[in-house]
Amino acid sequence: MKFPQSLKNFSIFIGLVLVVLVVRYNYTTLPVSSEEIALVNDTNNFAKAGFELGEETGITPEIDILAQAAGAFSEGGKEVFGWETNKRWPIASLTKLMTAVIALEHMDTNQIAIMSPEAMAIESPSGGFSLGGKYRINDLIRAMLLVSSNDAAEQIALTFGRDEFIKAMNGKALELGMTETNFIDPTGLSARNQSTINDLVRLTEYIRLFRPEMLATTKKTSGTITEVKTGKRRTLNNINPLASGKDFIGGKTGSTPEAGGNLISVFNIGGGPKIIIILGADDKFAETTKVKNSLWQ
């Protein structure tokens, strides 16, 4: 029997709610202030709108996109603009959004992780970690979200159990209806970590509704992490230049030679939250600004 699309969308939404009701009762969150969470929640009417991938009526923009794929979405994941939205593409460090979700929902974020040789040997490390350094999981998550730390992402997975962690990432993707998404590592370094615009908007909406502390973290221009053994604190500056924008709610950058430039951005514009996703661009920030200004400025 073929069910109406609206019934399918409603079922997906109910499924998301049930999943989150379970994890909210059992796991801790990133330490951000209630005011910072409010900045995200004030734009969040997802629960009223439901989650429905579809076109926004009355808007047929023509935008010359210099990217492999792009999409812009309004409340509830409704497509305002799309270019190759079902094209699978390497997502690079956008992967770390799912890594953070799994860490928040399956780990004690106060747990201490010791930076291992395996994590320290990862390609393109960032965050200033050193072998044997001790950090709480929430600080490793912060390093992932602010400076896209590969060594932090790898250590989170290793602390949990790497194979099981990646299995959980793929399982979560299926729960969210991300049927064209695959993860094989927690960093995004592999070109086999792939997704589509339509799948990534599902992940972004889930984060916006149920993990707003992640967006609140990515909105900050900087954050502090602490090495537990010495008590030494270190400031990490956000590598996303959009973080200083007044209408920026949060997002994540990503790039590898195979993927090009990828960027997920959530803005509070045009009367509510808007999501812009760019994959495979030479200048992901310019393409995001082009879409934003074409649709809502």
For 101-135, b where at least 16 C-beta lie within 10 A, e where not — what string?
bbbbbbbebebebebeeebbebeebbbebeeebeb
**Contacts of residue 8, Cβ cutoff 8 Å, sequence gap at least 6:** none
Q: Would you state the structure tokens that stand for residue 17, as one six-digit string?
A: 């709610």
CA distances from 153 to 61, 103, 215 (A): 38, 10, 17
Question: What DSSP string runs through 72-133?
Answer: EEEGGGEEEEEESTT--EE-GGGHHHHHHHHHHHHS-TT-EEE--HHHHTSSS--S---TT-
Binding site, annotated residues for substrate: 252
Q: Within a 10 A sphere around the Cβ of 292, how many other Cβ atoms?
A: 20
Helix axes 95-106, 197-210, angle to 10 degrees: 40
CA distances from 210 to 21, 48, 199, 204 (A): 9, 14, 17, 10
Tell me, yes or no, if 265 is annotated catalytic. Answer: no
* Active-site residue (options: 74, 93, 149, 195): 93
Tell me, yes or no, if 11 is annotated catalytic. Answer: no
Degrees (nearest 5) of the Cα angle 76, 77, 80? 120
* Active-site residue (options: 148, 149, 195, 255): 148
Phi/psi of residue 204, each to 5°?
A: -65, -40
CA distances from 95 to 133, 138, 192, 200 (A): 24, 17, 11, 10
User: Alpha carbon 73 to chain centroid distance?
Assistant: 15
Do you know the residue count of the chain? 297
The single-letter DSSP state of residue 68 is: S
* Active-site residue (options: 6, 8, 74, 96): 96
Tell me, yes or no, if 96 is annotated catalytic. Answer: yes
Binding site, annotated residues: 252
**Which residues are identified as catalytic?**
93, 96, 148
